[in-house]
Structure 1
């Protein structure tokens, strides 16, 4: 091995945080390399956001086909072709992957394929197909190693990729499970419940140890989503833990803490993701780890000088779009530009189940815990003409400071929530008053009117409802 090849910036990991950091650094004139052991695009593109949402899009089409008669359309739904759905999903992933590879080349980012280990705070040893390669960062080394699905430490539920699976396996199934049991009711859990139920699973059960589905969301969001899932025929069980499981050749029997048991043909473990940091030399190079997560300050700087960390490995929101912003922040910080710390409360949280869920700002529970006086206003989609056309349920909930204070949180469960949350993000981030938002003129009839009407009601001038 020759002496280290130097770059201004070296990014370990080519996922959303890693490649966004690399692209921005290159745009700022910094010689940049990305070290990636798999494919650029990371979990989001290959085993997360993009393939999951492609499956959910297919599920939405299936929903429309199955319910065509409601709209006066003559159509017959014969079910889904899982193999064809997989081909559709993979086309979306492959197209995005090719585009990203082209973008990195065009912008001058060198991609080094291999498995890396830190040797010190500036240098990586990379095991490539052509042998060991040493690369060093003269201005900043960025750790963006991502995460992997968590296993559930319960007897009988070790992941085998057949009867007990994670999202990594579920995204590539070329069959529809007949009786899936899903452990965990956050994003992955509720999204796959939607997919499999719509694709024709005979029964779908979701188990959540915490008292509510999507447990980090507002209490009214959780209640509305649980009700909607139950109406779709999904068995939702909250506040109960899994204590064990027994497998046979064609089934899994799951034992619960309340003394009951369930049987299914497959179990999806969807209890979150764990940071990927073991065996990479982080601690030895002076990087502090806490339960595997890399410790950083508000600038995404570690305790090791010149070493930064972004994305899932720092354990903040664990969302692709927050990783993008962390990547931009770090690249500009390394380049010597003035940057503003990320407001994670102002970052939208989105779930693509049906109905969709999206939120920004603080929840009612958080405001109560912090002793912040607030008022709440809820506008149901049942009062929105555009939502009626899609048989949608749910609501927009606005939390505002007491006595005419600013908007503190917006929580949506309903149609296209993940799209219309963009306006709510601006409202929250600009600390708008409900009286100011009430002056906005929203097009009619649209779903986004529900945001306007919720704020009108919060301002004391309701229209519908």
Structure 2
């Protein structure tokens, strides 16, 4: 086994890993990045980037219907060329991948292909996936530290292991063959909602099942309410407070496949027994089951024990110091999906974590990640975007709360879009009370949340924001109007 030495070893080349590697290299450190698959990780190759590319295509499909039904444009949709659509998606992913590889190369990061196993607090063994015996095995020692960034994988259900076609997860749903005619989505968090939205736009009959009492249960209740109303209006069946009792594959060759055939137009599928919050138990037949019930950290084979680390009960690797993301073992840091809450398991949070850890390893002062000011976005139609505390969270934290909701349809641009939606602001009561949270629902609100992020992070008051003029007519002026009202200067809206 060859022996090598470097300043920093990063295990995992996803968003958290490669951002750590890039920043550390830019600071003059010798960096080795170990990745057993493709740099960019889940976000680039199976999650954020390809899914948002597909959701953009879905938005174009929806636009044809809106043009015809709302604007009098004589437009028709001839169909979706699935191979052409996926080729565009794959080209976007490929170009991003080449870009990340080029950045790592230009920064001088050594990228090693293989599986990394910790051999101690500063040691790593890397095994080439294709090696046999001792061939292709390298030993590495980190002079400054090791960064764990191995990410997460979708949680699966016992007895319903993904097959890439009829039972899928968020990792493979977009790569399953063709477009199904019916989909059962299990899980009403951001991932489940996005995939339900995509498949509905593409013409599928969609049932969305969530065990909690509302969709996006971690968001403000008004966000959940507005989103649920919009999805139902689009024809998605939403069952909240519902449990899937069991599910099984149905083979078209069997007699009991007739019910599935009627729902899907033929072919094998899935039958699931679901108990809704109200009403009788029901059987849902669908061509495809998408399991979106969360993700679990990937630590299999990482050799944590050899380095003196353990996971918590949920499989996370908890940091001993949240301000530096260092573990209880000196020189070992953790970023990304391996971190427990308050980390958010979001790609943009991982970028911030990577910057923090790289600067810490370089001996530079760096501000801890302010997770309360990290935006959360669901890219469905309509979108949701939030930052800071919900109204319920603010009240539970002991704040005297002033909250205001402004419908987007109260603005001219909101009427133009015609999709409904809202801006909700949550602030401390009083003239100089801080903005505690902002919650948006509507078209393209993912592009509007940055202003509110600054308001929350910089402890702005509604009056601070109200003094700044927002362009008219835009959706963003609803943000300005919401804070004008809270500041006692309501123009088109009064408290």
In terms of mean alpha carbon deviation, does 140-149 or 288-297 score higher?
Answer: 288-297
Provide the secondary structure at the position in 1 that maps to 2:272: strand
Task: Note if 1:199 corresponds to 2:224.
Answer: no
Structure 1 residue 260 displacement after superposition = 2.1
Match of 2:262 in 1: none
Q: Does the 8 A contact of 1:157 with 1:244 survive in 2?
A: no
Provide the secondary structure at the position in 2 that maps to 1:168: coil
Of 223, 227, 232 in structure 2, the residue corresponding to residue 230 of structure 1 is: 232
Deviation by residue 1:74-120 (Cα, 9 ceiling, x = unmatched)? 32112312221111110100000011111110110110000110000
Structure 1 residue 402 displacement after superposition = 1.5
Task: Note if 1:388 corresponds to 2:415.
Answer: yes
Structure 1 residue 432 displacement after superposition = 0.5
**C-alpha separation in 2, matches of 1:362 and 1:373:** 13
| CA-atom RMSD in angstroms | 1.2
Match of 2:254 in 1: none
Of 310, 314, 332 in structure 1, the residue corresponding to residue 335 of structure 2 is: 310
**C-alpha separation in 1, matches of 2:295 and 2:460:** 35
Structure 1 residue 365 displacement after superposition = 1.9
**C-alpha separation in 1, matches of 2:316 and 2:301:** 13
Of 250, 254, 259 in structure 1, the residue corresponding to residue 272 of structure 2 is: 254
In terms of mean alpha carbon deviation, does 185-194 or 22-31 score higher?
Answer: 185-194
Deviation by residue 1:162-190 (Cα, 9 ceiling, x = unmatched)? 32111122121231111100000111111
Task: Note if 1:455 corresponds to 2:483.
Answer: yes
Match of 2:263 in 1: none
Task: Note if 1:176 corresponds to 2:179.
Answer: yes
Of 166, 169, 179 in structure 1, the residue corresponding to residue 169 of structure 2 is: 166
Match of 2:302 in 1: 280
Match of 2:188 in 1: 185
- Structure 1 unmatched ranges of 5 or more: none
**C-alpha separation in 2, matches of 1:95 and 1:204:** 32
Task: Note if 1:402 corresponds to 2:407.
Answer: no
**C-alpha separation in 1, matches of 2:297 and 2:333:** 15
In terms of mean alpha carbon deviation, does 64-73 or 247-256 score higher?
Answer: 64-73
Q: Does the 8 A contact of 1:283 with 1:289 survive in 2?
A: no
Task: Note if 1:38 corresponds to 2:37.
Answer: yes
Q: Does the 8 A contact of 2:165 with 2:177 survive in 1?
A: no
Task: Note if 1:440 corresponds to 2:468.
Answer: yes
Provide the secondary structure at the position in 2 that maps to 1:39: coil
Match of 2:118 in 1: 118
Structure 1 residue 194 displacement after superposition = 1.0
Task: Note if 1:415 corresponds to 2:443.
Answer: yes
Q: Does the 8 A contact of 2:165 with 2:176 survive in 1?
A: no
Q: Does the 8 A contact of 2:42 with 2:171 survive in 1?
A: no
Structure 1 residue 72 displacement after superposition = 3.5
Match of 2:349 in 1: 322
Structure 1 residue 416 displacement after superposition = 1.1
Match of 2:317 in 1: 294
Provide the secondary structure at the position in 1 that maps to 2:209: strand
Deviation by residue 1:251-273 (Cα, 9 ceiling, x = unmatched)? 21111234222111110000111
Task: Note if 1:149 corresponds to 2:154.
Answer: yes
Deviation by residue 1:297-321 (Cα, 9 ceiling, x = unmatched)? 2111111110000000113200000
Structure 1 residue 393 displacement after superposition = 1.0
Provide the secondary structure at the position in 1 that maps to 2:438: strand
**C-alpha separation in 2, matches of 1:381 and 1:79:** 32
Deviation by residue 1:183-225 (Cα, 9 ceiling, x = unmatched)? 0011111111111111111x10000001111111000000000
Q: Does the 8 A contact of 2:164 with 2:176 survive in 1?
A: no
**C-alpha separation in 1, matches of 2:392 and 2:300:** 35
**C-alpha separation in 2, matches of 1:285 and 1:215:** 37
**C-alpha separation in 1, matches of 2:198 and 2:57:** 8
Provide the secondary structure at the position in 2 that maps to 1:337: coil
Alignment of 1:328-407 (within 5 A): 328-404=355-431, 405-407=433-435
Provide the secondary structure at the position in 2 that maps to 1:171: helix
- Structure 2 unmatched ranges of 5 or more: 252-267
Deviation by residue 1:408-427 (Cα, 9 ceiling, x = unmatched)? 00000111111100000011
Match of 2:52 in 1: 53
Structure 1 runs (4+) greater than 3 angstroms displaced: none
**C-alpha separation in 2, matches of 1:227 and 1:443:** 29
